[in-house]
Structure 1
Amino acid sequence: MKPYQIIYYRGFGSPRAVWLTGRVLRQNELVSPADQAPFWDNLSASVSRFLTSEVDGITVRIEAFGQVFRTVTNDEGYFDITIDPAIELPTGRAWFPVRYALEGVLQPEGYEGKSGSGQGREVVKDGQLMIAPAYSQFGVISDIDDTVLVTGATSLWQTLRLTFLENAFTRLPFAGVAAFYRALQGGAVTTLFNPIYFVSSSPWNLYDLLIDFFRIQGIPKGPILLRDLDINASMISKEGHHLHKLAMIRKVMDVNPDLRFILLGDSGQQDPEIYADIIRDNPGRIVVAYIRDVSREADRDEAVQHLIQTAANDNVPMLLVPNTVAAAEHAAVLGLIDPDTLPEIRADRKADQE
Structure 2
Amino acid sequence: MKHRPFIGTRVEDFLTRVIARALRRRGWHEALVPYTGYGTEDHIRVLARIVLNPPHAERALPGYAAAWLNRRGWRNFVGLPVQHGHAVLRLAGETLHLRSDRQGYIDMTVKAHQLSPGWHKVRLEAPGAQPVDAPVQVVASDESFGIISDIDDTIISTSLPRIVLAAWNSFVQMEGNRQAVPGMARMYQHLLAEHPGAPVVYVSTGAWTSVPFLRRFMARHGYPRGAMLLTDLGPTNTGWFRSGPDHKRYSMGELARDFPNISWVLVGDNGQHDPVLYREFADLHPGRVRAIAIRTLTAAEQMLAHGTVTVLVDSAHLEWTPSQAPLVTGADGDELWPALREVLEPARRAGEKD
What's the TM-score bracket when you normalise by the shorter of the two chains? Answer: 0.7 to 0.9
TM-score normalised to structure 2 length: 0.76
What letter corresponds to residue 141 of structure 1 in structure 2?
I
Instruction: Give the counterpart of 1:19 among 45, 70, 78.
Output: 45
Instruction: Give the counterpart of 1:164 among 149, 162, 171.
Output: 171
Q: In 2, are the aligned partners of 1:5 and 1:29 still within 8 Å (CA)?
A: no
* Cα separation, 2, equivalents of 1:58 and 1:154: 32
Q: Deviation string for 1:129-165 (max 9, x for gaps)? A: 0122245341000000000010111432222221122
TM-score normalised to structure 1 length: 0.76
Q: In 2, are the aligned partners of 1:42 and 1:166 still within 8 Å (CA)?
A: no
What letter corresponds to residue 161 of structure 1 in structure 2?
W
Structure 2 spans left out of the alignment, 5+ residues? 1-26, 59-63, 300-307, 347-354
Q: Deviation string for 1:255-299 (max 9, x for gaps)? A: 111111000000001111111111111011001001111164675
Instruction: Give the counterpart of 1:277 among 252, 276, 280.
Output: 280
Pair 1:198-2:202 in alignment: yes
Alpha-carbon distance, 1:332 to partner: 2.1
Instruction: Give the counterpart of 2:79 among 30, 47, 52.
Output: 52
Pair 1:258-2:285 in alignment: no
* Cα separation, 2, equivalents of 1:78 and 1:268: 29
Q: In 1, are the aligned partners of 2:29 and 2:128 still within 8 Å (CA)?
A: no
Q: Deviation string for 1:81-135 (max 9, x for gaps)? A: 1111132x33xx3211200011xx246xxxxxxxxxxxxxxx3101210122245
The alignment's C-alpha RMSD in Å is 3.2
* Cα separation, 1, equivalents of 2:336 and 2:157: 18
* Cα separation, 1, equivalents of 2:185 and 2:261: 26
Alpha-carbon distance, 1:336 to partner: 5.8
**Which residue of structure 1 lines up, in the alignment, with residue 12 of structure 2?**
none
Instruction: Give the counterpart of 1:325 among 300, 313, 334.
Output: 334
What letter corresponds to residue 127 of structure 1 in structure 2?
A
Distance 1:335 1:76, change over 3 A: closer
Q: Deviation string for 1:2-58 (max 9, x for gaps)? A: 332100111112223321121111215989xxxx989x8479x43343342222233
Instruction: Give the counterpart of 1:2 among 17, 28, 35.
Output: 28
Q: In 2, are the aligned partners of 1:169 and 1:216 still within 8 Å (CA)?
A: no
What letter corresponds to residue 335 of structure 2 in structure 1?
A
* Cα separation, 2, equivalents of 1:320 and 1:235: 35
* Cα separation, 2, equivalents of 1:196 and 1:276: 19
- Match runs of 1:225-304 below 5 Å: 225-230=229-234, 240-294=243-297, 296=299, 299-300=310-311
Pair 1:95-2:119 in alignment: yes
Pair 1:316-2:325 in alignment: yes
Distance 1:37 1:243, change over 3 A: farther
Q: In 2, are the aligned partners of 1:136 and 1:192 still within 8 Å (CA)?
A: no
Instruction: Give the counterpart of 1:76 among 103, 108, 127.
Output: 103
Percent of pairs with identical residues: 22
What letter corresponds to residue 253 of structure 1 in structure 2?
A
Distance 1:298 1:218, change over 3 A: closer
Q: In 2, are the aligned partners of 1:62 and 1:98 still within 8 Å (CA)?
A: yes
What letter corresponds to residue 135 of structure 2 in structure 1?
Q
Q: Deviation string for 1:191-223 (max 9, x for gaps)? A: 632210001111111111111111111111001
* Cα separation, 2, equivalents of 1:131 and 1:216: 24
**DSSP-derived class of the 2:81 partner:** coil
Q: Deviation string for 1:42-85 (max 9, x for gaps)? A: 79x43343342222233211122443221112232222211111
**Which residue of structure 1 lines up, in the alignment, with residue 8 of structure 2?**
none
Q: In 2, are the aligned partners of 1:13 and 1:252 still within 8 Å (CA)?
A: no
Q: Deviation string for 1:319-344 (max 9, x for gaps)? A: 2322212211022223469xxxxxxx
Q: In 2, are the aligned partners of 1:22 and 1:78 still within 8 Å (CA)?
A: yes
Q: In 2, are the aligned partners of 1:261 and 1:286 still within 8 Å (CA)?
A: yes
Q: In 2, are the aligned partners of 1:154 and 1:268 still within 8 Å (CA)?
A: no
**DSSP-derived class of the 2:50 partner:** strand
Distance 1:308 1:329, change over 3 A: farther
Instruction: Give the counterpart of 1:67 among 74, 94, 117.
Output: 94
Q: In 1, are the aligned partners of 2:295 and 2:331 still within 8 Å (CA)?
A: yes
**DSSP-derived class of the 2:143 partner:** coil
Moved over 4 A (4+): 28-31, 231-237, 307-311
What letter corresponds to residue 51 of structure 2 in structure 1?
L
Alpha-carbon distance, 1:235 to partner: 6.7
* Cα separation, 1, equivalents of 2:139 and 2:230: 20
What is the count of residue pairs matched by the alignment? 305
Distance 1:55 1:202, change over 3 A: same
**DSSP-derived class of the 2:109 partner:** strand
Structure 1 spans left out of the alignment, 5+ residues? 108-122, 338-354
Distance 1:53 1:309, change over 3 A: closer
